[in-house]
């Protein structure tokens, strides 16, 4: 099996050039060219990034997912993570790596009355190759958080989306996963209990 991710080209303004495949045995994200200027920190993500919650809102287990609204591998991970929602709170953080449309769609998801429903609609559209949700007339103020998320993503030196960051539920160690991953593998990497019947997701 291969873990798939959308790989970002490194530049001051991050632009996604292509999608690639990564070996599923790798446990860390591929760094963009140039050293990370900020060490990966759950505390910094919690304080600086803006996302929306999915899953158990009262859970002390928090998993952060950087995603691009145009990325098909992020759409696959969205499905793969669903069976794990009772065990953790997933915070989905939109970034803009695939162009201006990614920024406006990310802003539209964050600004929606129900971000989870908007994300569901967007990811279904991406899987169907119909371009995601309509996101017109988004203001600079609405787009600003997505730009800030993208800057943080770049500062961490992450090289592709989706990028998953959390703590192992048993060991407490920082876990960073670069690329989409099937439900069973995602549960194992995060120290969660894999459901008996899991959504195959990416990498199956």
Q: How confident is the model at residue 150 (pLDDT cuts 50, 70, 90)?
A: very high
In a domain, 182, yes or no: yes
Q: Provide the CATH number for the domain around residue 57.
A: 3.40.30.10
Q: How confident is the model at residue 197 (pLDDT cuts 50, 70, 90)?
A: low
In a domain, 201, yes or no: no
In a domain, 143, yes or no: yes
For CA atoms 116, 134, 152, 98, the dihedral sign is positive
Does residue 35 carry a pLDDT above 90? no
183-190 and 72-81 helices, crossing angle to 10°: 70
- Edge-to-edge strand ranges of the sheet holding 52-55: 52-55, 89-94, 62-67, 163-167, 174-178
The C-alpha angle with vertex 82 and arms to 41 and 58, in degrees rounded to 5, equals 60
Q: How confident is the model at residue 195 (pLDDT cuts 50, 70, 90)?
A: confident
Q: What is residue 201's predicted lDDT score, i.e. its pLDDT?
A: 52
The C-alpha angle with vertex 50 and arms to 97 and 174, in degrees rounded to 5, equals 85
Q: How confident is the model at residue 60 (pLDDT cuts 50, 70, 90)?
A: confident
- Report the predicted TM-score, pTM, of the whole model to 2 decimal places: 0.83
Q: What is residue 36's predicted lDDT score, i.e. its pLDDT?
A: 76
Does residue 34 carry a pLDDT above 50? no
CA-to-CA distance for 178 and 176, rounded, in angstroms?
7
Does residue 26 carry a pLDDT above 90? no
Does residue 31 carry a pLDDT above 50? no
In a domain, 200, yes or no: no
Residue position matching structure tokens 């090289």: 159
Does residue 27 carry a pLDDT above 80? no
In a domain, 204, yes or no: no
Q: What is residue 139's predicted lDDT score, i.e. its pLDDT?
A: 95
Which carries the bigger pLDDT value, residue 35 or residue 102? 102
In a domain, 58, yes or no: yes
Does residue 117 carry a pLDDT above 80? yes
Q: What is residue 174's predicted lDDT score, i.e. its pLDDT?
A: 97
Cis ω before 25 (30° cut-off from 0): no
In a domain, 156, yes or no: yes
In a domain, 197, yes or no: no
CA-to-CA distance for 95 and 106, rounded, in angstroms?
7
- Nearest by Cα to 105 from 65, 137, 66, 64: 137
Across the range 115-119, mean pLDDT stands at 97
Does residue 20 carry a pLDDT above 60? no
Across the range 83-110, mean pLDDT stands at 96
| Helix or strand run (H / E) with residue 47 | helix 42-48
- Count of structural domains within the chain: 1
Across the range 16-38, mean pLDDT stands at 43
Q: What is residue 85's predicted lDDT score, i.e. its pLDDT?
A: 94
Lowest mean pLDDT segment, chosen from 7-21, 68-82, 106-120, 182-196:
7-21
Please check whether residue 156 is in contact with residue 67, taking contact to mean a CB–CB distance below 8 angstroms. no
Instruction: Find the domain containing 72 and state its range.
Output: 2-190
- Beta carbons within 10 angstroms of residue 124's beta carbon: 15
């Amino acid at each position: 099996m291969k873990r798939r991710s959308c790989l970002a080209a490194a530049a001051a303004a991050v632009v996604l050039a292509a999608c690639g495949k990564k070996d599923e045995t790798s446990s860390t994200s591929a760094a963009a060219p140039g050293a990370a200027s900020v060490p990966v920190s759950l505390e910094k993500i919690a304080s600086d990034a803006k996302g929306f919650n999915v899953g158990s809102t009262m859970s002390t287990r928090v998993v952060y997912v950087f995603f691009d609204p145009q990325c098909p591998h992020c759409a696959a991970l969205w499905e793969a993570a669903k069976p794990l929602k009772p065990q953790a709170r997933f915070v989905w953080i939109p970034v803009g790596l695939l162009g201006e449309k990614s920024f406006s769609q990310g802003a539209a998801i964050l600004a929606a009355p129900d971000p989870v429903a908007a994300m569901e609609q967007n990811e279904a559209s991406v899987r169907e190759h119909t371009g995601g949700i309509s996101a017109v007339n988004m203001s600079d103020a609405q787009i600003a958080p997505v730009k800030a998320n993208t800057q943080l993503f770049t500062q961490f030196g992450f090289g592709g989306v989706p990028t998953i960051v959390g703590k192992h539920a048993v060991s407490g160690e920082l876990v960073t996963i670069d690329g989409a991953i099937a439900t069973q593998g995602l549960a194992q990497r995060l120290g969660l209990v894999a459901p008996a019947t899991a959504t195959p997701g990416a990498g199956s």
